[in-house]
Structure 1
Amino acid sequence: MGARLRVFLTRDQDKTLLNLRTTDAPQKVKERAEIIRLNAHGWYVEKIAAHFNWTPQTVREVLHKWEKLGLEGLWDKVGRGGKPKWKESDIVFLEECLKKEPRTYNSLQLAQKLERDRQIQLSPDRLRRVLKKRG
């Protein structure tokens, strides 16, 4: 068994991590900040993992990122996740069609129109969710 993984915080770092709890930061960032604080206050990786219901390896990764990147390591990298297949102009196009034309469309017909006129393939369900989110 290797040496215990332990981070040490300055008073300012501890205060910064504590203040993250009251900001509008993502929940994962708040949890990562709390993991670092608990480790600095003497909690072992296994105990922290049990407390958060995470694996010990995930807790170690958080601690290693803190040592390597500091505060920046708490946030996920930009560009994670799938990219949208549509652009804002495509949705504006559909909204204009709905305003101009006297007929009504269902989501399947809108998806077909978007594919025919703009070569954008969106499922009717996904298109419905995008439009609903826009109001």
Structure 2
Amino acid sequence: MGLLLRWACAFLLLALTYNPTQWNYIRWSMNNYQQEQPLAVLLGLLLLIWYIIYLRATLRSIGGFGMFLVLSVVGALVWVLYDWNMLSLDNPDIVTWIAILALSIVLGIGLGWSIVRRMLTGQVDMDNVDH
């Protein structure tokens, strides 16, 4: 459940920032920046902090190469589904949702890598803490 929750939070972060609907921060802030400038800045900063936390945790757990590998596997899966005519990429909205899903999988795996590693190997990750 922990891994699924971490992925869902990553998906929510990306979808709140941008998605093909009208319900996203980018579109809202572009349309309301003049009237709601303080709120737009506050929400933008909160999203930025959320991104920094997620990206830093992901980079620390799987690194840039690990992020590349996960994204490559997801991209290859999309390619296979497209090649087998199980997925159509004609609709730009679908492509955007696929990109959000792919990036959220990268962040979700990065955030939950300790859980995956513990399940696979029985080893526990721990930060070095000096007392």
Q: TM-score range by the shorter chain?
A: under 0.3
Structure with the higher helix share, 1 or 2? 2
**Larger relative contact order (C-alpha < 8 A, sep ≥ 6)?**
2
